[in-house]
Amino acid sequence: MEPSSGQRPSPASAGIAFGLAAYGFWGLLPIYFKLLTSVPPVAIVAQRIVWSILFLFVLTLVMRGFSQVRSALSDRRTLRLLMLTALLIGTNWLIYVYAVNSGHILAASLGYYLNPLANILLGYFVLREPLTRTQWIAVAIAAVGVAVLAAGALQHLWISVALCISFALYGLFRKIAAVEASAGLAIETGLLLPVALGWLFFGASSGIAIWGDGSTRVLLLLLGTGIASTLPLLFFTAAARRLRYSTLGILQFVAPTLQFLLAVFAYGEPFTLAHAVAFAAIWTAAALYLISSVRSARAAHCEALPD
């Protein structure tokens, strides 16, 4: 049901809803990939791409979005940006699946804890989004928390840093690319499809278990990777186009916190004093930043009201 014109949500409200949906989904995604440990990470990513393109084709057909796809493909700047974002998201997927299925969910969660800081700084230095003094304090507190956590995870820090950089840049370039969420994701996935198909053919001919143990459960889960991969990315890109990039960065604390809790309580990864200090610091920073953002939004709203 469409809301009435007087009740239509603002772009910011819709952006927050999309952002929470994306990050909540990503936070619980390790549960899904843990069910696919019999499949090599590269094969999982390749199949994610293949099944995603089928889901996106149907979605684009239903939403009549082929004109948007053609428009984006005809714009050289947009196409160059999407080639870059395709490379970034493919790299991010591969490292993330490897981290989950090799027992390093905490390292992955650290990468996504780092990511909001990267988003906030990219928003400030690249997009010229201003930060208040309280927001800078929040960034500093979160940075201290992440530094404490990083000190206890140096062996796998490359996972965290690679996930952070690849996804922060992906979000930035998708924000400035002149294409809607579903059309852009369809093009990105199409660009990755030849590589994915080529690897699957190579893997099958080389005896790699691209279908895992071959059970019906694993086959169905692999088919479902298309939807599991596409939905949160659609939510994310929709949020990125509606929100300040720094605000999007704060929402992202939802995903690594869920991953963190799964790693410790569901999968038994060790929880140290460093983790406890970092967890407290990061959520303190998130609370400070959100409070400051709400105050700034209210002040701007009051200034905009007629006398």
- 250-291 pLDDT per residue, tens: 787 788 889 988 998 999 988 888 878 887 887 788 788 777
Examine residue 304 and state whether it is found in any structural domain, yes or no: no
Cβ atoms of 56 and 230 closer than 8 Å: yes
Examine residue 48 and state whether it is found in any structural domain, yes or no: yes
- Whole-model pTM above 0.75? yes
Domain containing 65 equals 11-299
Q: Residues 228, 110, 18, CA angle at the centre, nearest 5°? A: 40
Integer CA distances (angstroms), 287 to 54, 107, 260, 273, 299, in order: 40, 23, 18, 21, 18
In the predicted model, what is the mean pLDDT of residues 111-129?
82
Most confident of 174-188, 190-204, 221-235: 190-204
Examine residue 2 and state whether it is found in any structural domain, yes or no: no
Q: What is the pLDDT of residues 132-172, one digit of tens each?
A: 888 888 889 988 887 887 777 667 788 988 999 999 999 89
pLDDT for 202: 94
Examine residue 283 and state whether it is found in any structural domain, yes or no: yes
Cβ atoms of 164 and 108 closer than 8 Å: no
**DSSP state, residue 154:** G
pLDDT for 153: 64
**DSSP state, residue 266:** I
Tell me the percentage of the chain whose pLDDT exceeds 90. 42
Examine residue 271 and state whether it is found in any structural domain, yes or no: yes
Examine residue 307 and state whether it is found in any structural domain, yes or no: no
- Considering its fold, how many domains does the chain have in total? 1
Examine residue 255 and state whether it is found in any structural domain, yes or no: yes
List, in order, residues 6 or more apart from 73 with CB less than 8 Å away: 79, 187
In the predicted model, what is the mean pLDDT of residues 32-46?
94
Examine residue 305 and state whether it is found in any structural domain, yes or no: no
